[in-house]
């Protein structure tokens, strides 16, 4: 876990509620970075490819790849093989038509070749554990955890989920998500709201947002915040200390969604993860 040098961690005593809050945050952030640095995680991606009907060789992947109405197909050469869903495949293999946001990982030695569907297009991403972006990873910088950024808000459901189109980190790509409602909250007396998407668990929510720190101390394009299932009265907790970067903050080989237009907050959320060291180095 790494925190911003310019911030001061809260809590001065031991055994206090603040100490417990900080300890829980540190464990969460460590676990989040550990998952990010998994041997086949996003830091291991070495390329982003958009297969077409014309067969092509792809750096970091075996065989010759193409895509059509039947999905992605690979033609493996002599001595080449992949393991797909536990079965070894050789020669010609079709991955079929994948649903939107689905992925299949084909194992190739110590690497995997991800075949996915993003924004209505087929995507291929080789993932190699020895990729320098992964092996040099030292953690994600963040503001020091501060309980004052753990806010209470109200979830207001729409009569029906609203299909919401947003842009992507890749120019020309669009994503469509169902927005079940909005989250309303206050910061320093200013009333704010964020359109929420469905989260990873039933009833949970996810908000994508930018704020006045975006492009200054935090990643310019987006940050994400998970919100637990609202209470019976619609009460939700927004812990901006756990605002995270999406994969596009680290690598150009991600297709991350951008926030809906209304999710650009006019205040500075000085909490959560900041611009990754990898992006700072690239900018320099």
Task: Encode pLDDT of 61-78 as tens digits.
Answer: 999 999 999 999 999 999
Assigned token pair, 130: 């020895």
Token match 């709201």: residue? 193
Is residue 140 a contact partner of residue 41, using CB atoms and an 8 Å limit?
no
Predicted confidence at residue 1, as pLDDT, reads 33
Give the start-to-end residue ranges of the domains of the chain: 2-37+138-283, 42-135
Predicted confidence at residue 278, as pLDDT, reads 86
* pLDDT at residue 179 greater than cutoff 90: yes
Is residue 240 a contact partner of residue 218, using CB atoms and an 8 Å limit?
no
Assigned token pair, 276: 């990754």
């Amino acid at each position: 876990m790494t925190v911003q040098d310019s911030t001061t961690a809260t809590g001065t005593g031991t055994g206090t509620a603040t100490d417990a809050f900080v300890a829980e945050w540190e464990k969460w952030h460590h676990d989040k970075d550990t998952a990010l640095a998994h041997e086949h995680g996003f830091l291991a991606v070495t390329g982003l490819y958009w297969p077409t009907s014309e067969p092509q060789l792809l750096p970091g992947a075996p065989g010759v790849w193409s895509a059509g109405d039947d999905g992605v197909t690979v033609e493996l050469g002599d001595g080449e093989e992949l393991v797909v869903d536990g079965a070894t495949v050789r020669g010609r293999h079709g991955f079929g038509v994948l649903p939107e946001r689905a992925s299949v990982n084909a194992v190739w030695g110590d690497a995997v070749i991800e075949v996915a569907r993003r924004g209505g297009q087929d995507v291929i991403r080789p993932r190699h554990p020895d990729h320098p972006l992964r092996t040099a990873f030292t953690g994600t910088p963040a503001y020091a955890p501060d309980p004052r950024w753990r806010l209470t808000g109200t979830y207001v459901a729409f009569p029906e989920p609203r299909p919401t189109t947003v842009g992507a980190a890749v120019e020309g790509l669009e994503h469509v998500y169902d927005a079940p409602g909005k989250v309303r909250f206050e910061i320093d007396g200013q009333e704010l709201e964020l359109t929420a998407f469905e989260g990873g668990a039933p009833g949970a929510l996810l908000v994508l947002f930018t704020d006045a720190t975006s492009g200054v101390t935090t990643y310019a394009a987006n940050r994400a915040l998970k919100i637990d299932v609202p209470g019976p009265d619609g009460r939700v907790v927004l812990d901006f200390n756990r605002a995270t970067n999406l994969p596009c903050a680290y690598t150009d080989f991600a297709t991350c969604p951008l926030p809906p237009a209304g999710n650009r907050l006019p205040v500075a959320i000085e909490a959560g993860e900041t611009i990754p060291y990898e992006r700072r180095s690239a900018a320099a």
